Amino acid sequence: MYYTQDEYRRVTQYKGGVTTDNSIMYKFVVSPACAKIVSHMPSWFAPNVLTFIGLLCNIAAYILVSVHSPDLRTELPGWVSATCGLLIFSYMMLDNCDGKQAFRTGSSSPLGELFDHGCDSLTIGMGAITTAGILGAGPWHALAYVASGYIPFYLAHWEEYWNHSLVLGSWNGPTEAECAAISFYLVSAVFGTSIWQTPVTVPVLEVTVPANYLVLSFCLFATAFTAVNSLWSGTRLAASKGVNLGDAYAYFAPFVLAYSSAAAWLYLDLGAFERHYHLFLVGTSFLFGYLTINTIIQRMCGLSYTYFYVPVIPVFLAAVHGYLVSLYGAQVQLAKPQVVYSLIYSFYLANLLLYVKEVIAGFTRHLNIRVFHIKYPNKATKVL
How far apart (Å, rounded) are the C-alpha atoms in residues 152 and 132?
19
Element (H, E) at 62: helix 47-68
Residue 372 CB neighbour total at 10 angstroms? 12
Q: How far apart are CA 226 and CA 147, in angstroms?
A: 13
Cβ(134)–Cβ(184) under 8 Å? yes
User: Is residue 209 helix, strand or coil?
Assistant: strand
CA gap 301, 2 in Å, rounded = 14
Q: How many CA atoms lie within 13 A of 101 on its CB side?
A: 28
CA–CA gap between residue 118 and residue 354 (Å, rounded): 14
- Strand, coil or helix: what is 18? strand
CB 52 within 8 A of CB 356: no
Catalytic site residue 117?
Answer: yes
Q: Which of 117, 141, 157, 278 is labelled catalytic? A: 117
Cα gap 301→322, rounded to integer Å? 38
Instruction: Write a three-state SS string for 243-259.
Output: CCHHHHHHHHHHHHHHH
Q: Are 117 and 99 in contact (CB under 8 A)?
A: no
The residues that are catalytic are 117
